[in-house]
Amino acid sequence: MLYDLLPCKGRVGFVATPRNAYWLNLANQVGKLEQAGWRVEDRGVMIDLPGPPEMTLYKSGKLLVRTPDPDEATRAAHRVYEVLGLR
């Protein structure tokens, strides 16, 4: 999957933004993420994935990764997108 990973402006972390437009049905993604071993907190309009690193997935496919380490953010984003089948 192609995405851009940029530093988050408002927090310590990075935002992964898919280059292709997505509109995820988050309710359908919860089971995939749980099967992959994440504890999932479904907030309806977003999914929180407690860390480390802590992450938040939005309907648009954007992923906020809360870590100051860009390599860790890249690995985490890749794992989430792989599990969701967004390649």
Look at the chain and report how many structural domains it folds into.
Answer: 1
Task: Say how many C-beta atoms besides its own lie within 10 A of residue 76's C-beta.
Answer: 23
pLDDT in tens, 1-57: 588 899 988 778 999 999 887 788 999 999 999 999 999 999 989 999 998 999 999
Task: Say how many C-beta atoms besides its own lie within 10 A of residue 23's C-beta.
Answer: 7
Rounded to the nearest 5°, which phi and psi values hold at 3?
A: -150, 160
Handedness of CA 66, 72, 77, 80 (dihedral sign): negative
Q: What is the CATH number of the domain that holds 68?
A: 3.30.310.10
Nearest to 47 by CA among 67, 25, 68, 14: 25
Expressed as residue numbers, the domain containing 67 is 3-84
Nearest to 17 by CA among 9, 36, 28, 44: 9
Give the global pTM. Answer: 0.90
